[in-house]
Amino acid sequence: MPVFDPMVSGLIELKRTGGEGLVAQLTSQLRSLIATGRLGKGRALPSSRQLASDLGVSRNTVTYAFEQLAAEGYLAASHGRRPVVMIDGRERIKQAGAAAAGERARKPRLSPWAAKLQRADWPMSYRGQLKPLRPGLGDFREFPNEVWARCLRRSAVRAGRRELGPVNRLRLRETLAHYLATSRDVRATADQIMILPSAQAALTLIAATLISPGDNVWVEDPGYPGAAAAFRASGARITGIRLDEQGMQLMPGLAAPKLIFMTPSHQHPTGRLMSLARRTEFLAASRPGKTWIVEDDYDGEFHYDSRPVPALQGLDAHGRVFYVGTFSKAMRSDIRLGYLVAPAALVGTLEIAQQHTGLIAASHIQEALAEFIADGHFLAHLRRMRRLYHARRDHLVEELQRHLGEVLSVEVPPGGIQLVARLKRGRADQAVVKRLVAAGVETRALSSLAVGRPRDHGLLLGFAAWRESEISAAVRTMASCF
Ligand SMILES: Cc1ncc(COP(=O)(O)O)c(C=O)c1O
């Protein structure tokens, strides 16, 4: 015997204003009550007359909803009888859960590329809310959202009026070629510049285009895990190269690699600046067409103590250097824009790879960025952030030296958005980081950025994204943890 459920109307809430009609709302709410098992199999719903009166709607509204759900198999409705639920929602959920668990346990056979990415220990996972002093971030709270929104709106309206165009927008390519030439001494024509959704996308494209299984790739040690992961996934044999005061060292004893990845403006993570002499040595040792160099200038806009050293790309006369940049640090990471300045000989190949992988940025966002830069908003924002981040770097250094000078030795970077504080007395960093994260200070262990066996122990601390009061509070918390 079907059981009458007098509470159905209490489970339904219909909105009289807003876009969705009453029939659609009622149908979807009843469907969801049945699918989740709140209205179990065999339950009799109130008659259409009763439910219409309980909900204060017309009887037709309820009849249409019942008819739709009967057509979908959720209800059995016959004339003069109350409709009865035909589906066991709880049982279906249980079955779906069991099926998903079974599928998860089956472990599909992955390609070598995907299997290597699973083991990469990257991207780093920070759980929950953003907390001080998470590294790798600029201060998105300071971003001029209103100005950016106006550029976006204008470009979206213009986009609606024009023909579909090339994936790498000419206006942004030209704007970037000019900006990079004047600010970073990058020498490239506009058609060498590819606009991508991120710097990581550029690394993925380079790896897919140039790396064959077994190729040797040098990366900095400690270094940026995203780069090692991208090249390793393509089958590269990765060698971590130690740093000295001038940055990555040249290893004449090792066979010349296929590719060298470096962050010469501010080495990731130490922030060290590669000297001009070292840049020249690397170029001299890289035979054109044999060894490629990837110069990742992820936060090169932020220099505080001296004029920046010219980009390696601009010093190269033989088209050996890829120059990679991103707007993730200088603007906001969720804008999803980066770029790649490619050696002229590889532009066509990379553009085909770009089309096949779909690593294409939305054209109205590219146009908005071109306007944002051309109208001077980008440089104005950079000037303001440079002043702000400079003060924040100094503040973090002072606070660390004052409260934690006994246990930490701070390396002051000449620019960038983060710094390394090494642990004194041979302390291991992983346990310290665990304690700090639990106390609300998000830092990353230097040893987790090692390529081989970790030799350096310390903390990677972001300063750019955090106000001086937040930095002070975080350092006090750190002091209480040591
Ligand atoms: C050295 C380095 N390169 C590249 C990136 C990635 O930039 P994007 O967000 O554009 O992929 C990061 C981000 O943290 C980085 O630290």
Q: Please tell me the predicted confidence (pLDDT) of residue 378.
A: 98
Q: Please tell me the predicted confidence (pLDDT) of residue 19.
A: 78
CA distance 261 to 246: 16
Predicted confidence (pLDDT) per residue in 56-78, tens digit: 999 999 999 999 999 999 999 88
Q: Which residues contact 404 (CB under 8 A, 6 or more apart)?
A: 421, 475, 478, 479, 482
**With a 6 A CB cut-off, is 299 part of the ligand 1 pocket?**
no
Q: Please tell me the predicted confidence (pLDDT) of residue 231.
A: 98
Q: Which residues of the chain register pLDDT less than 50? A: 1-4
Q: Please tell me the predicted confidence (pLDDT) of residue 66.
A: 95
Atom of ligand 1 lying closest to residue 263 CA: 1
Q: How far is the CA of 234 from the centre of ligand 1 (A)?
A: 19
Q: Nearest residue CA, atom 7 of ligand 1?
A: 199
Predicted confidence (pLDDT) per residue in 430-467, tens digit: 999 999 999 999 999 999 999 988 988 999 999 999 99
Neighbours of 458 (CB within 10 A): 28
Q: Please tell me the predicted confidence (pLDDT) of residue 5.
A: 52
Q: Please tell me the predicted confidence (pLDDT) of residue 20.
A: 86
Q: How far is the CA of 225 from the centre of ligand 1 (A)?
A: 10
Q: Which domains does the chain have, with CATH numbers?
A: 3-89 (1.10.10.10), 143-375 (3.40.640.10), 380-481 (3.90.1150.10)
Q: Please tell me the predicted confidence (pLDDT) of residue 346.
A: 97
Q: Find the Cα–Cα–Cα–Cα dihedral 382, 384, 388, 389, rounded to 10°.
A: 10
Query: Where does 115-268 show beta strands of DSSP type E?
Result: 193-196, 216-221, 237-244, 247-248, 259-262
Q: Please tell me the predicted confidence (pLDDT) of residue 452.
A: 86
Q: How far is the CA of 136 from the centre of ligand 1 (A)?
A: 8
Q: Nearest residue CA, atom 13 of ligand 1?
A: 136
Atom of ligand 1 lying closest to residue 337 CA: 10
Q: Please tell me the predicted confidence (pLDDT) of residue 6.
A: 54
**With a 6 A CB cut-off, is 122 part of the ligand 1 pocket?**
no
**With a 6 A CB cut-off, is 296 part of the ligand 1 pocket?**
yes
**With a 6 A CB cut-off, is 370 part of the ligand 1 pocket?**
no
